[in-house]
Amino acid sequence: MDVKTLEPYAIIGFDGSAIKGLKVHPDGDHIIYPMGNKVCIQEWKNKKMHFLSGHTNSVSTVAVSPKGTYVGSGQINHIGFKASAKIWDFKKRIMIGSHELHKVRVEALSFSSDERYMISLGGRDDGCVVLWDCAGGSATATTAASKLTTGDAVTLAPLNLRHSAFVTGGDSNLRVWNVRAESKTLEVLDVSLGKLRRSVRCIAISKDDAYGYAGTTTGDMIKFSINFPADPSASVANCKPSLIGCLAKCGQWKKNKAPETICYSQGIEAILIMDDGCLIVGAGDGTVDVLDEINWKGDFPKAKVAAPNKPHFKALRTVKVPGCITSMELLESPQRRGGQRLLLLGTRTSEIFSIDMATFTLTLVVTCHRCAINDIAFPRGMSGVFATAGAGSVRVWCLQTARELLRIALPNFSCSAVLFSGDGKSIVSAWNDGNIRAFTPLTGRLIYCIFNTHNKGTSAIDMTSDGRTLISGGCEGQVRVWDIRPECQSLKKVLKEHKSPVSAIQVSPNDTEAVSAGTDGSAIIWDLISLSRRQVMYANTLFMCICYEPRGCQLLTGGTDRRVAYWETASGNLARELEASKVGAINGLHITKDGELFVTGGNDQMVKQYLSKEKPPSATQKTVQSPKTLQQELHLPLEDKTTKKPATERQFKVPAAPSKDEKIEAMNTSRSSVHSCCPCDVTQPQGSKVTSPVKAETKKCCRPPDNLPTRTTSKDYISGSGDRK
């Protein structure tokens, strides 16, 4: 049987940790950025993506040639191993060259202005500059990037008119390089900084190559003159770059007093020089300013202590984004000129923002989890939205638009599991602080918090279809059963069988039993009526995931043995197993409602879909005959365990808003800058400022306060005291 390829419907992601990772193609229609070990080329209008695959580890930096012919990318690697830098053809989307001349990490990449050379800068463990001939496919020159008496070089920028020159900067070093055409060697000229000591983070060169700016970690800028002749073919043997000054933003200025200097918090991470001479500066604290030079008349009044920098710029426009800015690019095209241009910002929190240069308004374009995603959940009977759990937040996404609808933030904690209740009125999440928190699906308001559910963190949860029973597993190996009611949440039973963390829990389709899988190699079936152990399965593996077959007669497990195993729920015997991966563990597993297909994901970075009921076994499958047949198991007496509860006991209402329950089906799947999902004011126009309507004193609006929008950072989420009844 031929194995087909699964085509992705949408991919949500951006690696914001890569310095200068977000690039705009010169055609103005494509943006390029890293995503894991791949480089993503995305069309700006229709959001179509194409991936450049070939790296073996995370991509650390990306570069685009001035004419857009080539795309360069570098990666990081383990200590002691070589890191590769690759060159791609943009139109053909193929790799045309690569080298492994750096150790551990490629810190920065850039192309010469004539696209002849690709310049790569190694990281701390390498410290070399490599000049790569793009046409010849070979290294032209390799030399140390900095002196032994200075720190490491971390950034570089090419000159615009002189094709064979570029500038590097780092810790206490700022150097101008030139390629000798005769010998194809590198000659270097140090910028004389005098007593000034700065650590350079970014460099910007003027279009005429007359001067440049270097952003520093102290929050000011070094302006230096390159002093190269205007003729690109002239010799630079007698030229020497010089320091113009250390400049900063001007603060409050009083008469007969020296003006104050304002340094950017957490340093300057990106600088753009505009055509009119203004600067756009991006800082580590998220501040973005448009700066213009101040023409001072006369000398400054002398201060008591000489300042190391000089106030030289005034801010024309300013905006602040959440997170440290790592990339800043101007999106412009023949159809997008002047005020229609967009400024794209990439942040360390893995978000992309756009700023309209006409109005200087901020818009969120791309967002995703910054760290690993621990769990994914769909509402019961609904596939339009889904929730993800990660470090510091639980997020709800729209499947059709691939946009974020709701973000519930809990800083400094990690969410290990998430699920939707059966009635769709709550999002239940498990956190590493040992608490279980439930939120409303529209506004993210806290419904209840169960404190200290597990003393070493909650690792897995699942809930019955009526929302009355919650089963949780912890890192200490205990399984606990909870009675969930609107007024209180109480513990029913503690089940102690596992000897190591519980990795997965799932309730059976008929809500009479639940199964828990642990990293001790055991999977235990629990009776939810008698709250006792019904069956146990052992295997020589660390179980990572477990799933019920839709009829509840069999279980599917996956673990570190790279196999997917079928188990009989009545006898606990192994029915069959297959090798699902040849490289690493199976971390995720799920089966369709009809039981025809199941899908796996593991350390091999592959998602595989299998036919569950194919008649002829494959060569990698091992069939084991069970003592009891499936027909005998189906006739087991289960009448007392399948009795349905009265309909009155299946109602689950959200406290504090008894007449206005929030259901996930009412989620507005279109993203807006302001989420207006409160049922109390459904007529509120979208995009307008949300104001609390006048209500009676006995009624309480279910919307959180104005200072707590969908991105909630309230202490109530940490303490669990918010809206608890």
Please compute, for residue 447, the number of CA atoms within 13 A of its CA located in the half-sphere on the CB side.
Answer: 29
Range in 134-148, 560-574, 665-679 with the lowest mean pLDDT: 665-679
pLDDT exceeds cutoff 60 at 694: no
What pLDDT score was predicted for residue 8?
A: 85
What's the mean pLDDT in 225-232?
Answer: 84
Two structure tokens written together for 364: 């969120």
Alpha-helical runs (H) found in 640-704: none
pLDDT in tens, 520-538: 999 999 999 999 999 999 9
Select the more confidently predicted residue: 463 or 307.
Answer: 463
Q: How far apart are CA 295 and CA 316, in angstroms?
A: 15
Q: How far apart are CA 100 and CA 115, in angstroms?
A: 20
What pLDDT score was predicted for residue 614?
A: 58
Select the more confidently predicted residue: 680 or 31.
Answer: 31
What pLDDT score was predicted for residue 379?
A: 95
pLDDT exceeds cutoff 70 at 75: yes
Looking up tokens 């070094």 gives 222
pLDDT exceeds cutoff 60 at 619: no
What pLDDT score was predicted for residue 334?
A: 62
Q: How far apart are CA 25 and CA 260, in angstroms?
A: 39
Select the more confidently predicted residue: 217 or 137.
Answer: 217
Burial 448-458 (b: 16+ CB within 10 A, else e): bbbeebbeebb
Cα of 460 vs its chain's centroid, Å: 23
Q: How far apart are CA 141 and CA 179, in angstroms?
A: 9
Please compute, for residue 712, the number of CA atoms within 13 A of its CA located in the half-sphere on the CB side.
Answer: 26
Cβ pair 103, 74 in contact under 8 A: no
What pLDDT score was predicted for residue 338?
A: 55
Cβ pair 449, 720 in contact under 8 A: yes
Cβ pair 567, 515 in contact under 8 A: no
pLDDT exceeds cutoff 60 at 196: yes
Cβ pair 333, 341 in contact under 8 A: no
pLDDT in tens, 426-437: 999 999 999 999
**Which residues, listed in sequence order, are joined to residue 537 by a DSSP beta bridge?**
523
Structural domains of the chain, ranges and CATH numbers in brackets: 515-630 (2.130.10.10)
Q: How far apart are CA 27 and CA 6, in angstroms?
A: 31
What pLDDT score was predicted for residue 395?
A: 97
What's the mean pLDDT in 582-599?
Answer: 93
Cβ pair 450, 436 in contact under 8 A: yes
Please compute, for residue 76, the number of CA atoms within 13 A of its CA located in the half-sphere on the CB side.
Answer: 15
Two structure tokens written together for 472: 């949780």
pLDDT band at 681 (very low <50, low <70, confident <90, very high): very low
What's the mean pLDDT in 364-376?
Answer: 93
Pick from 498, 492, 506, 461: nearest CA to 476: 498
| Residues recorded for the chain | 725
Write out the DSSP string of 364-401: EEEE--SS-EEEEE--TT--SEEEEEEEEEEEEEETTT
Segment (H or E) for 553: none
Select the more confidently predicted residue: 387 or 675.
Answer: 387
Specify the amino acid at residue 392: G
Looking up tokens 């006048």 gives 694
In Å, what is the CA distance from 585 to each residue of 266, 576, 588, 605? 40, 18, 9, 10
pLDDT in tens, 464-510: 999 999 999 999 999 999 999 988 999 999 999 999 999 999 999 99
Specify the amino acid at residue 697: E
pLDDT in tens, 62-71: 999 999 999 9
What pLDDT score was predicted for residue 636?
A: 39
pLDDT exceeds cutoff 60 at 705: no
pLDDT band at 339 (very low <50, low <70, confident <90, very high): low
**Which residues, listed in sequence order, are joined to residue 102 by a DSSP beta bridge?**
83
Q: What is the DSSP letter of 647?
A: G
Q: What is the DSSP letter of 664?
A: G
pLDDT in tens, 236-286: 777 889 999 999 998 877 777 777 889 999 999 999 999 888 999 999 999
pLDDT band at 549 (very low <50, low <70, confident <90, very high): very high
Two structure tokens written together for 242: 């010089």
pLDDT exceeds cutoff 70 at 371: yes
pLDDT band at 336 (very low <50, low <70, confident <90, very high): low
- List the 373-377 sheet strands across, edge first: 373-377, 385-398, 403-420, 427-431, 436-439, 446-450
What pLDDT score was predicted for residue 660?
A: 57
Cβ pair 329, 315 in contact under 8 A: no
pLDDT band at 228 (very low <50, low <70, confident <90, very high): confident
What pLDDT score was predicted for residue 47?
A: 86
Neighbours of 249 (CB within 10 A): 24
What pLDDT score was predicted for residue 201?
A: 95
